[in-house]
Amino acid sequence: MKHTKKPKAILHGECIVFESKIPASAKPERIKGPYAIIANSEVTGNHHVIDMAPSVKFFQDGARRFFKSDVPVAVRCLLKERHDAIELPSGEYEIGIQQEYDYFAQAKRNVAD
């Protein structure tokens, strides 16, 4: 018997997406265009995105950002050669930015792509 499990979290460049319930206080976010940027590229324009479809909805709750989809969606980069696309099953997710620790500066910072 083959077991398939939903991923608990995926890492895509500096972006992290993990399973999460969308809080009742979250407000719908209006996305203009064919995709939603979920992590900006600071230098190269290689944004991490999710393509928009009628079943994909984004939400904001303070500084936290969420999305839900009734169909599988892919997290991908605009520059396809940089990272493979990762497909997520339908569900509710929270979006964040990975952090790293700089031992020389003795400080944590967001991962930059």
The pLDDT tens digits along the chain (113 residues) read 444 555 577 777 778 898 999 999 999 999 999 999 888 776 666 788 999 989 999 999 999 999 999 999 999 988 776 668 888 899 999 998 765 556 676 655 555 55
Instruction: Indicate left, alpha or beta for 106 from its phi (over 0: left) and psi (-120 to 50: alpha).
Output: left
Compute CA distances 86 → 7, 19, 27, 82, whole Å.
Answer: 11, 14, 26, 12
The pTM (predicted TM-score) of the whole model is 0.76
**With the CA atoms of 96, 19, 70 and 4 taken in that order, what torsion angle do they form, in degrees rounded to the nearest 10?**
130
